[in-house]
Amino acid sequence: MSGGSFSKVGVVGLGTMGAGIAEVLARGGLPVVGIEINDEALARGRGHLDKSTGRAVKRGKLTEEGRREILDRITLSTAFADLADCDLVIEAVPERLELKRRVFAELDKVCRADAVLATNTSSLSVTEIAVTTERPTQIVGVHFFNPAPVMRLVEVIGTVLTEPTAVTRVSDLVRSLGKTPVTIGDRAGFVANRLLFGYLNHAAAMYDSGHATLEDIDTAMKVGGGLPMGPFTLMDLIGLDTCLEVLEAIYRESRDRRHAPAPVLRELVTAGLLGRKTGRGFYPYDNAASSTTASATEAVDVPQPLVGVVGSGPLAVAIAAAAARAGSQVRYVGGDEDKTKTAWEALEGALEAEELARVTGGSELGSLSDCDLVVEAVAEDTAMKASLLAAIDDVARPGAVLGTTASTVPVIELAMATDRPADVVGLHFPEVGGPLVEVVSTVAGSPQTTERAAALAARLGLTAVRCRDRAGFIVDALRFPYLNDAARMLEAGYADADSIDAAMTLGCGYPTGPIADLDRLGLDRTVAVLRALYTESREAALTPAPILEEHLTADRPLR
CB of residue 535 to ligand NAD, shortest distance in Å: 38
Q: What residue type is 92 in one-letter code?
A: A
Q: What residue type is 219 in one-letter code?
A: T
Q: Does 37 bind ligand NAD (CB under 6 A)?
A: yes
What contacts 33, CB < 8 A, 6 or more positions away? 8, 9, 10, 11, 74, 75, 77, 82, 83, 86
310 strand-pairing partners? 333, 376
- Closer of 171 and 329 to ligand NAD (Cβ): 171
CB of residue 276 to ligand NAD, shortest distance in Å: 13
Q: Does 53 bind ligand NAD (CB under 6 A)?
A: no
Number of residues that bind ligand NAD (CB under 6 A): 22
Among 434, 391, 428, 388, smallest CA distance to 409 is for: 428
Burial class (CB in 10 A: 0-12, 13-18, 19+), 253: middle
- Closer of 97 and 264 to ligand NAD (Cβ): 97
- Closer of 269 and 316 to ligand NAD (Cβ): 269
What contacts 367, CB < 8 A, 6 or more positions away? 308, 331, 333, 360
Site string (441-480) toward ligand NAD, x via CB under 6 A: ----------------------------------------
Task: Name the residue number minimizing CB distance to ligand NAD.
Answer: 15
Based on C-alpha coordinates, what's the Rg of the chain?
27
CB of residue 343 to ligand NAD, shortest distance in Å: 49
Q: Which of 24, 93, 118, 319 binds ligand NAD (CB under 6 A)?
A: 93
CB of residue 150 to ligand NAD, shortest distance in Å: 12
**Dihedral sign, CA of 321, 324, 325, 328?**
positive
- Closer of 104 and 429 to ligand NAD (Cβ): 104
- Closer of 103 and 139 to ligand NAD (Cβ): 103
CB of residue 113 to ligand NAD, shortest distance in Å: 21
Q: Which of 9, 11, 14, 457 binds ligand NAD (CB under 6 A)?
A: 14
Q: Which spans in 16-63 are helix H?
A: 16-27, 39-58
> Using CB under 6 A, which residues numbered 111 to 130 contact ligand NAD?
120-122
Cα 117 to Cα 60, 137, 143: the distances in Å are 35, 10, 13
Of the ranges 7-15, 68-76, 291-299, 506-514, which one interacts with ligand NAD (CB under 6 A)?
7-15
158 strand-pairing partners? 140
Residues identified as active-site: 122, 143, 155, 193
CB of residue 2 to ligand NAD, shortest distance in Å: 22
Residues 91, 119: contact at Cβ < 8 Å?
yes
- Closer of 111 and 318 to ligand NAD (Cβ): 111
Cα 558 to Cα 41, 411, 438, 498, 550: the distances in Å are 49, 31, 29, 11, 10
CB of residue 94 to ligand NAD, shortest distance in Å: 5
- Closer of 106 and 172 to ligand NAD (Cβ): 106
Site string (145-174) toward ligand NAD, x via CB under 6 A: xx----------------------------
What contacts 319, CB < 8 A, 6 or more positions away? 307, 309, 375, 377, 405, 429
d(CA 344, CA 350): 10
Secondary structure, 3-state, 392-443: HHHHCCCCCEEEECCCCCCHHHHHCCCCCHHHEEEEECCCCCCCEEEEEECC
Question: Rounded to the nearest 10 degrees, how much is the dihedral formed by the CA atoms of 515, 521, 523, 526?
Answer: -100
Residues 120, 142: contact at Cβ < 8 Å?
yes
CB of residue 148 to ligand NAD, shortest distance in Å: 8
What contacts 284, CB < 8 A, 6 or more positions away? 290
Work out whether strand 74-77 and strand 307-310 pair parallel, antiparallel, or are unpaired. Answer: unpaired
Q: What angle do CA 147, 53, 291 make, to 5 degrees?
A: 45
CB of residue 205 to ligand NAD, shortest distance in Å: 23
Q: Does 95 bind ligand NAD (CB under 6 A)?
A: yes
Residues in contact with ligand NAD by the rule CB under 6 A: 12-18, 35-37, 41, 92-95, 103, 120-122, 144-146
